[in-house]
Amino acid sequence: MIRELHSWNTFQRIYHQLTLSFFLLILFPVCILAQNKPMNAALISQLKQKVKELAVTTQTITSAFTQEKKMEMISEKIVSKGKFYFRAERMLRWEYTEPFSYLIIISNDHITVKDENNVSHFDVSSNKIFLEINRIILGSIQGTLLNDEINFRTSFFDNEAAYIVKLYPLAPKLKESLAEIVIHFSHKDVSVDEVEMIEPGGDKTRIIFHDKIFNKPVADEKFIVR
């Protein structure tokens, strides 16, 4: 584990673990073998509007998650598990519990990272990288990230199980860390089925959310590191 996180290394880790969790997620089974068909402009517009409406009505999320990491140099997948908490007032807790303990909390403009007993604090406004993370968070919460043509090129597809959106980073720093982001939105409620992040070297991270609870109170203590 990294004990001391500096600006770009910190961004890479936080970005990989957090970016797509801010889309206000819920699990719905995905059919991996389904054939993807390009969406037309009318369907794309409808999807964007529905995602934005879901973001507006979601005040809190509590969820368990499973993360699968596939690295080019290792044949077996690395599987991690944990809990995810979100409150609409720009508060988020992303906690890994298996096979190691690792915690990230974002509360307003402050980021706290706890790696076992080591705690680091960062002020979003003091670092351009953290400002970028904050921009992505707000864009996701407000349902506007799918319209972010400055930082992402997007492609939209449909299959029997889900709407699929592929985002290709355009900003140079983002492209160093991520080559592609794939999001599966369910047909049922346009919430996210799963997220896959693909790095330039071919490594892939897949995050599946389950046991979701929406709009139930989340205690203040969840966003405090002790």
The predicted-structure confidence for 169-181, as pLDDT tens digits, reads as follows: 898 877 888 899 8
Kindly state the percentage of the chain with pLDDT values over 70.
77
Q: Map tokens 């939105």 to a residue.
A: 185
The whole-number average pLDDT for the span 94-120 is: 88
pLDDT of residue 42 exceeding 90: yes
Look over the chain and give the mean of its residue pLDDT values, rounded to a whole number.
79
List CB contacts of 179: < 8 A, sequence separation 6 or more.
168, 169, 198, 199, 200
The whole-number average pLDDT for the span 13-39 is: 53
Residue 142: left (phi > 0), alpha (psi -120 to 50), or beta? alpha
The whole-number average pLDDT for the span 118-127 is: 82
pLDDT-based confidence at residue 19 (cuts at 50, 70, 90): very low
pLDDT of residue 127 exceeding 80: no
Name the strand (E) or helix (H) holding 66.
strand 60-70
With respect to residue 131, please indicate whether it lies within any of the assigned structural domains.
yes
- CATH number of the structural domain spanning residue 111: 2.50.20.10
Closest of 163, 134, 186, 182 to residue 14, by C-alpha: 134
CA–CA dist 83, 104 (Å, integer): 11
8 A C-beta contact, residue 116 and residue 101: yes
pLDDT number for residue 117:
84
pTM, rounded to two decimals: 0.74
Instruction: Tell which wins on pLDDT, 58 or 18.
Output: 58
With respect to residue 222, please indicate whether it lies within any of the assigned structural domains.
no
With respect to residue 220, please indicate whether it lies within any of the assigned structural domains.
no
Could you tell me the CA-to-CA distances from 217 to 24, 60, 97, 140 in Å, in that order? 16, 7, 22, 21
pLDDT number for residue 8:
40
Q: How many CB atoms lie within 10 A of CB 49?
A: 12
With respect to residue 188, please indicate whether it lies within any of the assigned structural domains.
yes
With respect to residue 224, please indicate whether it lies within any of the assigned structural domains.
no
8 A C-beta contact, residue 105 and residue 223: yes
The whole-number average pLDDT for the span 96-106 is: 91
Sign of the dihedral through C-alpha 221, 224, 225, 226:
negative
User: Domain total for the chain?
Assistant: 1
With respect to residue 77, please indicate whether it lies within any of the assigned structural domains.
yes
Kindly state the percentage of the chain with pLDDT values over 90.
26
pLDDT of residue 101 exceeding 60: yes
User: Domain of 90?
Assistant: 7-210
With respect to residue 180, please indicate whether it lies within any of the assigned structural domains.
yes
With respect to residue 219, please indicate whether it lies within any of the assigned structural domains.
no
